[in-house]
Chain A
Amino acid sequence: MNTKKIYLLALVLLQCLCLKAQDIKKISWGKIPQEDLSMTVYPLDSAAEAVVLDDIGEMFFYFGNGVRYTLTSHKRIKILKEGGIERGNIFINYYFEKNSENIKGLKAQVIAPDGTVTKVKDENIFDEKISESQAQKKVACPNVQVGSIIEISFKIESDRWTLPRDWYFQSDIPVRHSQVEFIPIEDVTYIKQTKGFVPIIEKNGFFISTNLPAMKEEPYISTIDDYKAKVTFQLHAYINSKGVYTPYLAEWKLISELLHESFKFGHRIYNDGQVSDTWDLIKNDLNLTGDTLALATSIYNKVITHVKWDEKYSLFADREGDEVYKAQTGTSAEINALIINLMRKANLDAHPVVTNPRSFGRFNATYPMLDNLGHVLGSVVIGGKRILFDGTNQYRPFGIVDEEDLTTDALLINKKEAKIIPVEVQNESESHSIELSLNAEGQITGTISSKYRFLSIEDEAEAKENKSFETRWKSRLEKLSDNITISDYEASFGEGDFKSKFKFIAAAEFDQTEDMLYVPTGIYSQFLTNPFKLVDRKFPIDFGHQISETVITSFDVPEDYVVEALPANLNLSTTNKEVTYNMACSNLNKKVQIVRRTNILSPYILPTEYGAVRGIFDKIEVKNNDIIVLKKKAE
């Protein structure tokens, strides 16, 4: 055999070995490669204060008093800057209630760049109960300096086999290599779902990702967890003791059956005995003329004005309707279940709609996951049309939901049946008419008449009821002056809208010289200043809903003045009309009027458009602050 062939063979073998070494990784306790010890900066992110070098996990399922699993974790973190030294304090959460989870074999050590090892002792480890069901193991690693590597290993034994822990690849510092091996038992299958914006390789039961950038919180997104790279697991099906294949919540149908059987869901909605006392209390005040819309509205209003939301979202209602009505507070499921049950008692076609609040993570229609459901809305069919409602705010008119409910779709439940329905895009609409003038003392006074529709109604209605409208408007007008007096405020509901009107006096004067008067026209708008402050942005902009704002500012030109200069009209728009702006100014019969309309038609804007969106809001800000120049009439 010639050497060439042997050489070639060796090369091929070597290649295979290298390929394997690149993806699935094995690390041994205490054996740190020299390059890691001497690293002073992470090549892919020189600003990083620390980096996770390796994060190796194994989820191993077994039978032992029911199905259980262990999560073994072996992690190495390199400290690169002063700011990273805090990472010497490590926290591990676990469920201790009913002995559900235990942490075993916890060991940790700190290795200096010269190889010296400081071991973590018992006196550096603490255990603390942090709530009714969760506890936390805390480790204070000794001798952590810039350049140290913290190595930690532990095993969590858990009985939570139907919903095993998520494995996060990404962290708020860069991660060089993260992998988890998932070893289920035969006969038990899981849905595995990877999420995030970075590649995750799945291979032989391993999930691997490398060279992950750091992931930090930013404003105007639903939640950071939606974007962090991770893999989640949910039990799909198992072979039961009789050898029968049993699907577990694999379809929405199975979830809806589970919910229907549940005492805290199905019974709360479909068993009218749970609201009989309340029904007796309210039935005489209801609109029973046959107008189903009026009936549904009156039931809804009765409950929301009597029961206050305790700011907790829930899927299951702990208490029955009568108890909730009596206690006058409830979780989101308790309030909405109460309303639905009462509507059904009144022979309306009402059913629950299950979803997840936006800031908890998007509702995912493709993968039925119980974990993904944290909230219940109500729906009722009136005149062939399905109307959604959410009774968590007593100022919210019937038929409008909350911003948190505006996921793209949700799960409609009809007893045991389930169906995915779309959640319509909603609009937040405000229009204001501002009439300005100067009073005898030279101060700026005016009247503001406003109309609110859809999502914008509840905030102004609430401000009227709890008398906070003065604070609200003073803060809205603070650019004009920090000394504003509000008077003659009146507000009321109209046909599908809410109107308000009031007078104001601002201790501010128009800028003026001997013969010029400068009238500012930026009195109020949501966009008087650009809401986008970041220079750069990685995530999509998620307004959650459409926004439309119209502001008409007008004033009478004083007797002895004429208009010297009017601002020019302007139309702006982003490429696909996600954001549009129109401004038109006129001067008729000595009355100057500026009409400004801002529309955000697309609630969801990709990060590639951020620069353009920020740029347009900068221009809108400048235009909203235009000044009108008046000149004194020549003698």
Chain B
Amino acid sequence: MKRNLLLLKVTLCLFILTILSYDTTAQDWNVMHIPDTLKKDATIVTRMKQEKIEVMGKDKFTWTFRKVFTIFSENEHWEETGLYYNSFIKINNLKLTTYDASGLKIKDYGKKDFKDYSVFDGSSIHSDGRQLTLSTQRSEYPYTVELSYTLEFASNLYIPNFRIQQYGEAVESSNYELVFPKDAAVTFKSYNLPLSLDSIYSEVEPGKLKFAWNFKDLYAIKGSAYTLPNDLVLPHISCISSNFTFGKTKGSSQSWEHYSKFIYDLNATQGEVTPEMSQLVKDLTQNASSELEKIEAIYQYVKSKMRYVAVTLEIGGLQSFEASFVHKNFYGDCKALTNYTKVLLKEAGIESYGALIYRGDKKQAYLDTTFSDARFNHIVLYVPSQDLWLECTSKSYPAGYLGSDNEDRFALLVKEKGGGLIKTKAYDENINIQDIDITIQVNDDGMHEVTYIKTLHGEDHEDFRYYVDNADREQLEKYFVRNLDQTPIKFSSLDIQYEKDKPISTVKAKFYISKIGTQTGNRFFLNSNPIEKLNFFTDNAKEERKGPFYLQNHSTNKLKITYILPPGYQMESKPIQTSAKKSDFGKFEVSSAMEENKYVFTRDFVTKPGIFEGNRYKEMMDFRKEYNKLESSKAVFIKP
């Protein structure tokens, strides 16, 4: 009897203890609990995410970040955690935990487990940018990563975007908060947010505002070829401050004009003219008979004497070296060289303005003109009296030529008052031209002599312009060969030049090739185009494309190939007479003809840019496939 009672008591105690120890707040990262619908097209599923930006004052804000996400297969981007910091950013409370597929913890990592590297941004000789990195890669998938940290920023100049979703990322639930004192004057704008959204606004204390957004069950957005700029597709919230301090300079992003003034103020002290500089301008412009000639003389001096060296420390990221430093040392980065050129021009009586710009892929350069969130990475110079642009880091560009990585985008003029957005010139099919003329002497010994002349205008001429000045003969040959469809057996001559005052390069070459076709019995199959195919990318996705697509290329591509055949070759069949087609994506005209003992193939292809509806994707691909087929056609000859 007693024993049974004891047993009962013990069991009851144990039972109660078990209930109590069951942690009902424990989060469950078992991957089985992810609904299948969320896994579709997803590289990762974000189980939970909490981001909070809290602005403390004019020159401080904190960013608290916590994210738990499950990775399904090998993926370098998500499995390497990299956290950037510099003299303005501090990383605190860094913690990373990994869990296996059933949700059991594998390992905890702290700051000491991360490797600390300096960041090579591709151009700076020295910067204070650094990165903490850690790889979580394992052999068994899926697994889950929990990452949390706090960043402290010592300036409100750049408030990061809330990035709700990246390509391939599905989200179970996420929550974003923006808290700021009224006088920090933070404004925000949201883009591409899903309809199923929950947003809250409240005043947490007098003078302190809070905005919050909650999201649930967001399906992954699939990446594909020819996507629109990310800012037009991915959901995000941009924030700017109308009242910030950077170093000792106050500024505002309230409008483009305000931001322009801030950059102006930051660099206002860097333009002092020394007597040597003054004398230099006098010497350079003494023989100039027009304003344009003065500009060209000064620009020529900067191009030939200066070299590009970037040192970005602290506020040096936005403030240039003094003009006198550049003058003495003969080097500087884009800000310093642009500032220096501007100062010299001013000394010659010519007004010019620095123009902030995003240099690189046009898709990344996209900006919303109605929201002054500045994301520039470069600066060029604009001379309004001539409507002329100058790329001051180039060693050889003609005055007025900015380059294909600066064309057709908005730039912000830096002025004390009235600085606004202005668009750089777009390079169209009349500026981007490739014109090729090839003659191939077909020889029975299999070594066919090619006489090759190619003239490049605009975008395509830039690489050759660079290589002529910076590569040796061997590298130049390698680069030229890389762009051909087959390697020459040997070169007789290779001459590459560029025009000093125009964006044009020419290549003249004589070389031997062996692969112009195949022979079976006494039949010879001649390739219409053995070395300069356009060979467009074509896609064979089975499912219809959902989103719109964006074509950027805008150029003219002309080619004429003349084969000189030995006597006795009889044509058995010819692939095409003339074929021409026009569409919204461009137009082409291809023809082949036999003239005595010469077989001539010509093509003229113009590509057109644009944004098109997803349901026209197949139409565009078919247009390209038709051209690719014509270009790969063969003419059949009977040999004697």
**Chain A residues in the interface with B (C-beta under 8 A):** 47-49, 81-83, 85-86, 88-89, 124, 126, 128-132, 138, 140, 142-145, 216, 305-308, 310, 327-329, 394, 466, 482-485, 507, 511, 513, 516, 518, 530, 532-535, 564-567, 618, 621-622, 625-629
Contacts and interface: CB of A to CB of B under 8 A. Distances in A.
A138 B331 CA distance: 15
Contacts of B615: none
Interface of B: 73-74, 106-107, 115-118, 125-126, 135, 137-140, 305, 307, 309, 311, 328-331, 395, 469-474, 477-478, 481, 487-491, 514-515, 518, 520-523, 525, 537-538, 540, 572-573, 625, 628, 633-634, 636
A325 B573 CA distance: 67
A624 to B, nearest CB: 10
Contact of A47 (B473, B481, B488): B473
B521 A145 contact: no
Given A131-B117, A622-B518, A307 B139 contact: yes
B488 A82 contact: no
B540 A507 contact: yes
A144 B305 CA distance: 8
26 contacts: A49-B470, A81-B469, A82-B469, A128-B118, A129-B118, A130-B117, A132-B115, A138-B126, A140-B125, A140-B126, A142-B329, A145-B305, A308-B137, A328-B139, A328-B140, A329-B137, A394-B139, A466-B73, A485-B540, A535-B491, A564-B521, A565-B520, A567-B521, A622-B518, A627-B518, A627-B525
A530 to B, nearest CB: 7
A111 to B, nearest CB: 14
Nearest to A509: B629
Contacts of A484: 540
A140 B477 contact: no
Given A49-B472, A89-B125, A140-B311, A625 B520 contact: no
A144 B472 contact: no
Given A83-B469, A466-B73, A143 B330 contact: yes
A628 B515 CA distance: 18
A566 B573 CA distance: 19
B520 A567 contact: yes
B469 A622 contact: no
Contact of B636 (A82, A307, A518): A518
B520 A535 contact: no
Given A49-B470, A516-B573, A88 B307 contact: yes
A144 B515 contact: no
A394 B309 CA distance: 46
Contact of A535 (B107, B329, B487, B573): B487
Contacts of B125: 89, 126, 138, 140
B477 A618 contact: no
A565 B307 contact: no
Nearest to A565: B521
A513 B115 contact: no
A47 B135 CA distance: 44
Contacts of B525: 518, 627
A621 B138 contact: no
A81 to B, nearest CB: 8
B635 to A, nearest CB: 10
B115 A131 contact: yes
Contacts of B523: 565, 627, 629
B139 A308 contact: yes
A484 B625 CA distance: 14
B311 A126 contact: yes
Nearest to A125: B126
A482 B139 contact: no
A207 B519 CA distance: 58
Contacts of A138: 125-126
Nearest to A86: B307
Nearest to B73: A466
A535 B116 CA distance: 43
Contacts of A216: 474
A535 B477 contact: yes
Contact of A533 (B140, B307, B487): B487
Nearest to B328: A142
Listed from nearest, the 4 A-B pairs whose CB atoms lie closest are A308-B139, A565-B521, A83-B470, A142-B329
Nearest to A327: B107
